[in-house]
Amino acid sequence: MRRPSPALVVACLALGVALGGTSYATVLNVPKNSVGTPQLKRNAVKAAKIAPNAVRTGHVLDGSLLVADFKAGQIPQGPKGDKGDKGDKGDAGAAGATNVRVRTAQVSVAANSTNGAVATCQAGERATGGGAVLATIRNQDAILRSYPTLGTTAGANAGEIPTAWFARVFNSDAGAAHDATVYVVCASP
């Protein structure tokens, strides 16, 4: 490739000065307050180009700010609202259930087997909870079943008032039988 001639270089420089110099001079000689919203392209002014404190209350469209636009604690809490409507009355609880007793039942559980028992409340009491424990506790011992009943090994149905607690336990000791205790928490008015 050949080097450009000096005449071509001078001609290109003259063209660049002629075109660029005019544009540069035009930008420097813009009259004050002659550029406004119609002359700006959409999204041409970014936050980084706005001077600190240049945007004031009068410049912000009412209702356009969100809570996320404010720092924590900048928005004061509004006045307390009106009291809501009164709710429906709840179901009656176990009124007067101040007489609470724990009743128990013992059962022997043979070596490496299961057995269960029913712990029963006295007349006029209802079962509110229960459980079981084996006299000696090892890692493999387990409570297999534990639920409220009406005094049998069958569980109480929904809506029934239980009067006893049934539990079945597993004795993992392969060499000896152990006792288990079934508990029922009974309450009466």
Q: What is the CATH number for 127?
A: 2.60.120
149 falls within a domain: yes
10 falls within a domain: no
83 falls within a domain: no
In the sheet that 99-109 helps form, which strands lie side by side, from edge to edge? Answer: 99-109, 178-188, 126-134
146 falls within a domain: yes
| pLDDT-derived band at 5, boundaries 50, 70, 90 | confident
The residue range of the domain holding 152 is: 99-188
pTM for this predicted structure? 0.48
60 falls within a domain: no
Which backbone phi and psi does 178 adopt, to 5 degrees? -140, 150
With contact defined as beta carbons under 8 Å apart, do 145 and 167 qualify? Answer: yes
**Residue 98 or 177, more confident:** 177
Calculated CA dihedral for residues 133, 136, 140, 143, nearest 10 degrees: -10
pLDDT in tens, 70-93: 888 888 888 889 999 998 888 776
116 falls within a domain: yes
78 falls within a domain: no
Could you give the number of structural domains in the chain?
A: 1
72 falls within a domain: no
